[in-house]
């Protein structure tokens, strides 16, 4: 009698464990197929593209203080300090958003990071967080990869002056010694002169 009862409990325990295992597997299949999971009848989608770009940014040595200084300067030059949405198209149809980010720049970042291959410029220009992440990534790409600039050892104003020119001209023309238009250079120097006291940058 005791043995029969014990075997019955073991069967029930095994059956219950199998039910839990089956439920877990179904949940995993749901996540893999749909990119999300069901909770109290509400479907939740994981923000996979955002997670991917944020993980790829971990390798960027540019600290947030430097990026905010560079970003503010680019915004001053590209949008006169206005906080345009990322899908705002500048005159000429090449630059977008508050930093004048171009489709070519976005594609450049995507091509250099295989984990971003499922993203498109449209995704970036319709998502403020992606836009900011790609702008920072492109700034790092210009400085470190194309121009071989060790910006961690340079004053902020000098980093900005290099970046704003390469941002406007592209790395190829910048390396050829081309200059930006005088009005842009004048505004860049205005920004630098206004921010030198707070940026701890030397000339």
* Whether 20 and 56 share a structural domain: no
Res 61: pLDDT = 77
* Whether 105 and 42 share a structural domain: no
User: Phi first, then psi: what are they for 44, rounded to 5°?
Assistant: -115, 125
* Whether 53 and 30 share a structural domain: no
* Whether 53 and 42 share a structural domain: no
Cross-strand bridge partners of residue 38? 43
Give the separation between CA 57 and CA 61, rounded to whole angstroms.
9
Q: How many domains does the chain have?
A: 2
CB 142 within 8 A of CB 186: no
* Whether 81 and 42 share a structural domain: no
CB 110 within 8 A of CB 119: yes
* Whether 83 and 180 share a structural domain: yes
Res 12: pLDDT = 44
Cross-strand bridge partners of residue 36? 45
* Whether 15 and 26 share a structural domain: yes
89: which DSSP letter? B
How many helices (H) and strands (E) in the chain? 9, 4
Res 59: pLDDT = 59
Give the separation between CA 165 and CA 178, rounded to whole angstroms.
9
* Whether 20 and 95 share a structural domain: no
* Whether 79 and 27 share a structural domain: no
Res 197: pLDDT = 61
Q: Output the CA–CA distances (angstroms, integers) from residue 121 to 5, 79, 110, 140, 166, in the order listed.
A: 66, 20, 9, 18, 20
* Whether 29 and 54 share a structural domain: no
Give the separation between CA 108 and CA 149, rounded to whole angstroms.
18
Collect the ranges in the chain with pLDDT lower than 70: 1-59, 197-203
* Whether 86 and 174 share a structural domain: yes
Which residue range forms the structural domain that includes residue 78? 49-199
Alpha-carbon torsion 156, 146, 128, 48, what sign?
A: negative
Res 196: pLDDT = 78
Res 44: pLDDT = 31
Produce one character per residue of 104-129: b if its CB has 16 or more CB atoms within 10 Å, e if not. Answer: ebbebbbeebeebeebebebbbebee
């Amino acid at each position: 009698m005791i043995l029969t009862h014990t075997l019955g409990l073991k069967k029930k325990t095994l059956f219950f464990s199998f039910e839990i295992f089956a439920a877990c597997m179904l949940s995993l299949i749901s996540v893999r197929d749909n990119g999300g999971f069901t909770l109290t009848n509400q479907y939740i989608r994981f923000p996979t593209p955002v997670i991917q770009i944020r993980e790829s940014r971990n390798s960027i040595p540019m600290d947030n203080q430097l990026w905010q200084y560079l970003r503010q300067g680019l915004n001053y030059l590209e949008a006169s300090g206005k906080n345009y949405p990322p899908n705002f198209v500048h005159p000429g149809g090449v630059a977008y958003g508050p930093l004048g980010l171009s489709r070519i720049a976005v594609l450049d970042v995507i091509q250099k990071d295989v984990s971003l291959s499922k993203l498109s410029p449209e995704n970036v220009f319709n998502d403020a967080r992606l836009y900011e992440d790609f702008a920072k990534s492109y700034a790092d790409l210009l400085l470190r990869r194309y121009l071989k600039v060790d910006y961690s050892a340079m004053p902020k104003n000098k980093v900005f002056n290099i970046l704003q020119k390469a941002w406007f001209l592209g790395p190829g023309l910048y390396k050829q010694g081309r200059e930006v238009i005088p009005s842009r250079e004048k505004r860049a120097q205005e920004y630098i002169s206004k921010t030198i006291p707070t940026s701890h940058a030397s000339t």
